[in-house]
Amino acid sequence: MQTILFHSTIFGPIHSRRLGSSLGVNLSPADGKICSFDCLYCEAGFNAQGPGTAGLPAKEEVARLLREKLAAMKEAGETLDVITFSGNGEPTLHPDFPAILDDTLRLRSEFFPQAKVSVLCNSTRLDRPEVVEALRRADNNIVKLDSAITATIRLLDRPNSPAFTAEKVIGELKQFAGTGIVQTMMLRGSFEGQAVDNTTETEIKALIEAYRAIAPREIMLYSIDRPTPATQLEKIPAEELRAIGARIQAETGITVQVN
């Protein structure tokens, strides 16, 4: 099983295709994965590897480690484009996520005021007002929508909750009209004998309708970049991804970034 975990709470900076020079904040355990999805393409591997034994990092520890790292980077004359919440799972599952985000915004302003704070979020906790409010305070609130069709999104993202549907998440994503960035992983292949493909005409039409309804400030399309835990997945060629992005932009009027 693929298990590429981030073995620390603060990691990087790494160069991200989408975000530039990015310092990562991992609110999941350093030795395991905790997520409300179990995506076929997750770079941290499948949830079956378990949550480890280290537990979630405490709010105070995150702030201490982040302060230390930012101070060292500033001292060394390094640059920073973005602080990104990502890592071995879903950051909004941490019970102190809103307070940790606020600490991060404060530390950013103290050390690298020009840097952005981004959250990569899987959109499963948008029924919680405190999570929605916190995400609104981030500079880049990047929320996942991998398909607008329930059968496909369940196959691709494998939510823990049997109640998770595309309709529910699309409704909740409307809370970020004009401010959120909707991110969609495009791929095709198969898993356990079932075909999966979110690039078909039916899928793209449904996504276009969903993006129109959500009206985010931007759409990000990307495809597989690293080994995935499901081994029979195919990266969408850059040219095809660009063509899909151009169509979506033309039909929604929303800026589409293709990575």
The interface with ligand SF4 within residues 32-61 (CB under 6 A) comprises 35, 37-39, 42, 44
Q: Of the two residues 114 and 194, which places its CB atom closer to ligand SF4 in the complex?
A: 194
DSSP-H helix ranges across 128-195: 129-137, 150-157, 166-173
Minimum separation from the CB atom of position 44 to ligand SF4 (A)? 5
Q: Of the two residues 4 and 72, which places its CB atom closer to ligand SF4 in the complex?
A: 4
Size, binding site for ligand SF4 by CB under 6 A:
9
Closest by CA to 57, choosing from 9, 120, 3, is 9
CA distances from residue 219 to 55, 70, 100, 177, 198 in whole angstroms, order as listed: 33, 30, 26, 12, 15
Q: Of the two residues 37 and 176, which places its CB atom closer to ligand SF4 in the complex?
A: 37
Residue entry with tokens 């929605």? 132
Residue 84 interacting with ligand SF4 (CB under 6 A): no
Minimum separation from the CB atom of position 154 to ligand SF4 (A)? 13
CB 187 within 8 A of CB 233: yes
The interface with ligand SF4 within residues 196-225 (CB under 6 A) comprises none
> In this structure, are strands 10-16 and 20-26 parallel, antiparallel, or unpaired?
antiparallel
Q: Of the two residues 140 and 252, which places its CB atom closer to ligand SF4 in the complex?
A: 140
Name the helix (H) or strand (E) containing 239.
helix 238-252
Minimum separation from the CB atom of position 34 to ligand SF4 (A)? 9
Residues engaged in binding ligand SF4 (CB under 6 A): 35, 37-39, 42, 44, 89-90, 122
